[in-house]
Amino acid sequence: MPCLTEIYVLFYPNKVKVIPLDIYNLLTPVALAHLIMGDGSAKQQYSLKICTDSYTVKDVVRLMNVLIIRYELDCTLRFHTQTQPRIHIKQRSMLKLRAIVRPYFCESMMYKLGVMEGNR
Protein backbone atom coordinates (compact mmCIF):
# COMPACT_ATOMS: atom_id res chain seq x y z
CA MET A 1 0.00 0.00 0.00
CA PRO A 2 1.40 3.40 -0.96
CA CYS A 3 0.46 5.01 2.38
CA LEU A 4 2.50 2.40 4.26
CA THR A 5 5.41 2.83 1.86
CA GLU A 6 5.55 6.52 2.82
CA ILE A 7 5.84 5.60 6.49
CA TYR A 8 8.36 2.85 5.77
CA VAL A 9 10.61 5.29 3.91
CA LEU A 10 10.54 7.67 6.91
CA PHE A 11 11.45 5.02 9.48
CA TYR A 12 13.74 2.80 7.35
CA PRO A 13 15.85 4.99 5.06
CA ASN A 14 18.58 2.86 3.50
CA LYS A 15 16.90 -0.13 5.24
CA VAL A 16 18.12 1.04 8.67
CA LYS A 17 15.58 1.66 11.45
CA VAL A 18 15.65 5.30 12.63
CA ILE A 19 13.54 7.89 14.42
CA PRO A 20 12.65 10.45 11.72
CA LEU A 21 13.70 14.07 12.15
CA ASP A 22 10.03 15.08 11.98
CA ILE A 23 9.00 12.81 14.87
CA TYR A 24 7.53 15.79 16.74
CA ASN A 25 4.73 16.03 14.18
CA LEU A 26 4.45 12.29 13.61
CA LEU A 27 4.11 11.22 17.24
CA THR A 28 0.43 11.93 17.75
CA PRO A 29 -1.43 10.53 20.77
CA VAL A 30 -2.62 7.65 18.56
CA ALA A 31 0.94 6.92 17.41
CA LEU A 32 2.21 7.11 21.00
CA ALA A 33 -0.48 4.65 22.07
CA HIS A 34 0.60 2.23 19.33
CA LEU A 35 4.26 2.64 20.28
CA ILE A 36 3.49 1.75 23.89
CA MET A 37 1.18 -1.14 22.97
CA GLY A 38 3.95 -2.58 20.79
CA ASP A 39 7.09 -1.76 22.76
CA GLY A 40 5.94 -0.59 26.19
CA SER A 41 6.18 -2.39 29.48
CA ALA A 42 4.69 -1.17 32.76
CA LYS A 43 6.43 -1.60 36.06
CA GLN A 44 3.12 -2.21 37.87
CA GLN A 45 1.22 1.09 37.86
CA TYR A 46 4.26 3.10 38.84
CA SER A 47 6.28 3.68 35.67
CA LEU A 48 6.70 2.55 32.11
CA LYS A 49 9.58 1.67 29.84
CA ILE A 50 9.60 1.85 26.08
CA CYS A 51 11.94 -0.74 24.60
CA THR A 52 13.81 1.25 21.98
CA ASP A 53 16.68 -1.24 21.95
CA SER A 54 17.27 -1.23 18.19
CA TYR A 55 17.69 2.57 17.89
CA THR A 56 20.80 4.64 18.40
CA VAL A 57 21.12 6.80 21.50
CA LYS A 58 20.76 9.88 19.29
CA ASP A 59 17.45 8.58 17.92
CA VAL A 60 16.16 7.66 21.38
CA VAL A 61 17.02 11.13 22.68
CA ARG A 62 15.15 12.65 19.71
CA LEU A 63 12.08 10.59 20.66
CA MET A 64 12.47 11.45 24.35
CA ASN A 65 12.59 15.15 23.52
CA VAL A 66 9.14 14.86 21.95
CA LEU A 67 7.81 13.12 25.05
CA ILE A 68 9.29 15.87 27.23
CA ILE A 69 8.45 18.92 25.10
CA ARG A 70 5.18 18.00 23.38
CA TYR A 71 3.64 15.83 26.08
CA GLU A 72 5.39 17.21 29.19
CA LEU A 73 6.30 13.73 30.41
CA ASP A 74 9.12 13.19 32.88
CA CYS A 75 11.35 10.55 31.35
CA THR A 76 14.95 9.42 31.37
CA LEU A 77 17.28 7.33 29.28
CA ARG A 78 18.30 3.97 30.74
CA PHE A 79 20.30 1.17 29.23
CA HIS A 80 19.09 -2.42 29.14
CA THR A 81 22.58 -3.38 27.93
CA GLN A 82 25.49 -1.17 26.91
CA THR A 83 24.05 -0.85 23.40
CA GLN A 84 20.31 -0.98 24.10
CA PRO A 85 18.89 2.39 25.20
CA ARG A 86 15.38 2.50 26.62
CA ILE A 87 13.04 5.29 27.63
CA HIS A 88 11.80 5.23 31.20
CA ILE A 89 8.68 7.30 31.93
CA LYS A 90 8.61 8.14 35.62
CA GLN A 91 5.78 7.53 38.05
CA ARG A 92 4.87 11.21 38.36
CA SER A 93 4.00 11.28 34.63
CA MET A 94 1.89 8.13 34.50
CA LEU A 95 -1.47 9.84 35.10
CA LYS A 96 -0.73 12.33 32.33
CA LEU A 97 0.46 9.57 29.99
CA ARG A 98 -2.65 7.50 30.64
CA ALA A 99 -4.86 10.51 29.89
CA ILE A 100 -3.07 11.05 26.57
CA VAL A 101 -3.13 7.49 25.24
CA ARG A 102 -5.96 5.66 27.01
CA PRO A 103 -8.66 6.60 24.45
CA TYR A 104 -6.60 4.83 21.77
CA PHE A 105 -5.59 1.76 23.77
CA CYS A 106 -6.98 -1.72 23.21
CA GLU A 107 -8.58 -3.08 26.38
CA SER A 108 -6.32 -6.14 26.26
CA MET A 109 -3.25 -3.88 26.38
CA MET A 110 -4.24 -1.72 29.35
CA TYR A 111 -1.85 -3.66 31.57
CA LYS A 112 0.99 -1.93 29.70
CA LEU A 113 -0.20 1.31 31.31
CA GLY A 114 -0.25 -0.33 34.73
CA VAL A 115 -4.05 -0.46 34.64
CA MET A 116 -5.14 -3.70 36.23
CA GLU A 117 -8.52 -5.37 35.76
CA GLY A 118 -10.06 -3.86 38.90
CA ASN A 119 -8.69 -0.34 38.25
CA ARG A 120 -10.38 0.40 34.92
- Domains of the chain, CATH where assigned: 18-112 (3.10.28.10)
The pLDDT, as a whole number, for residue 43 is 78
Percent with pLDDT over 90 in the chain: 82
Report the distance separating Cα 18 and Cα 2, nearest Å.
Answer: 20
* CB contact at 8 A, 119 and 45: yes
Model confidence pLDDT, tens digit, residues 43-92: 767 899 999 999 999 999 999 999 999 999 999 999 999 999 999 999 99
pLDDT at 35 over 90: yes
Report the distance separating Cα 71 and Cα 96, nearest Å.
Answer: 8
Query: pLDDT category, 24, cuts 50, 70, 90?
Result: very high
The pLDDT, as a whole number, for residue 2 is 83
Identify each DSSP E strand in 9-94 by its residue range: 40-43, 47-50, 75-81, 84-89
Separation of CA 104 from chain center: 13
Query: pLDDT category, 117, cuts 50, 70, 90?
Result: low
Report the distance separating Cα 34 and Cα 29, nearest Å.
Answer: 9
Q: Is 17 helix (H, G, I), strand (E, B) or coil?
A: coil
Element (H, E) at 83: none
Mean pLDDT value across the chain: 92
